[in-house]
Amino acid sequence: MTLPYFDNADADGNQLPIAMAHRGFSRDGLENSMAAFRAAAAMGYRYLETDVHTTSDGVLLLFHDSTLDRVTDGGGKVSELPAAAVGKVRIGGREPIPTFDELVTALPGARLNLDVKDWNSVRSTAAAIERHQAHDRVLVTSFSDLRRRAVLKLLSRPVAASAGVASITAFTLLGPVLPGPLFRRLMRRVLGGVQALQVPARRAGIEVVTPGFLRRAHRLGLMVHVWTINDPAEMQRLLDLGVDGLVTDRADLLRDILAQRGGWPAGPPA
């Protein structure tokens, strides 16, 4: 299934690699802040990668960790705190933690890659997508296949989705050993409702993104997005290999590389 989320063409209609700004763009450690998201959007990024957690009173936040301790001047578990309390803390002592509602409204041209971090956020994520009718603007992913599927079941129409760890592990390990027809038949069942594989280039000494991996994914109509790539030489290598997208902390470097290759979009998606 081709979904509007993946439409990323140039003026001539050629599909471009998808560039995702990982938690926005901030060289000052202000990850997942509106300042970081606005900075990426100002550079021309159409796609923003982010994470969701939910407060004790049901407010969906864009925040990576389960606790506030690492990146804010506050502390405590997000799921155990009301939104009013979380609203008083600051990322890096400077920026408030944004809500999903805030980002989707403030940057209406942005497409969001949403990593659902906990079960507490399943219903709130689905409700937020429905509330804003943002189905064409989001990709839902999670390390947990069960959690991702739970979100999708609550939605009134399809959204883009990426596979979880178990599915991707099966795809990676079984691809080189099973006969092609059997592998594809099995993966169509395992990866039902999935349009993308979002993977590291390598894991635990195993080269994940290989020509064979890409060939098998593309034969099943799956896009391959690789995270989190911050080295220019690695960006070039993966783009030469034929990946469909890159997730990066160095949005500035990836933009320059794609522009040099003729793969940077001229403006926000329609």
Q: How many CB atoms within 10 Å of residue 15?
A: 13
Q: What is the pLDDT of residue 266?
A: 61
Residue 61 CB-half CA count within 13 A: 32
| Domain boundary assignment for the chain | 4-260
pLDDT in tens, 9-36: 888 888 999 999 999 999 999 999 999 9
CATH superfamily of the domain spanning 4-260: Phosphatidylinositol (PI) phosphodiesterase (3.20.20.190)
Q: What is the pLDDT of residue 56?
A: 98
Q: What is the mean pLDDT of residues 118-133?
A: 98
- pTM, two decimals, is 0.95
Strand pairing class (160-161; 196-200): unpaired
Q: Which among 34, 16, 62 is positioned nearest to 255, based on CA atoms? A: 16
Confidence of residue 267 (pLDDT cuts 50, 70, 90): low
Residues 76/97, Cβ–Cβ less than 8 Å: no
Q: Is the pLDDT of residue 1 over 60?
A: no
**In terms of C-beta density within 10 A (0-12 exposed, 13-18 middle, 19 or more buried), how is residue 64 classed?**
middle
Residues recognised as catalytic: 22, 64
Percentage of residues in the chain having pLDDT higher than 70:
98
pLDDT in tens, 36-90: 999 999 999 999 999 999 999 999 999 999 999 999 999 999 999 999 999 999 9
Q: Is the pLDDT of residue 4 over 80?
A: yes
State which amino acid sits at residue 89: V
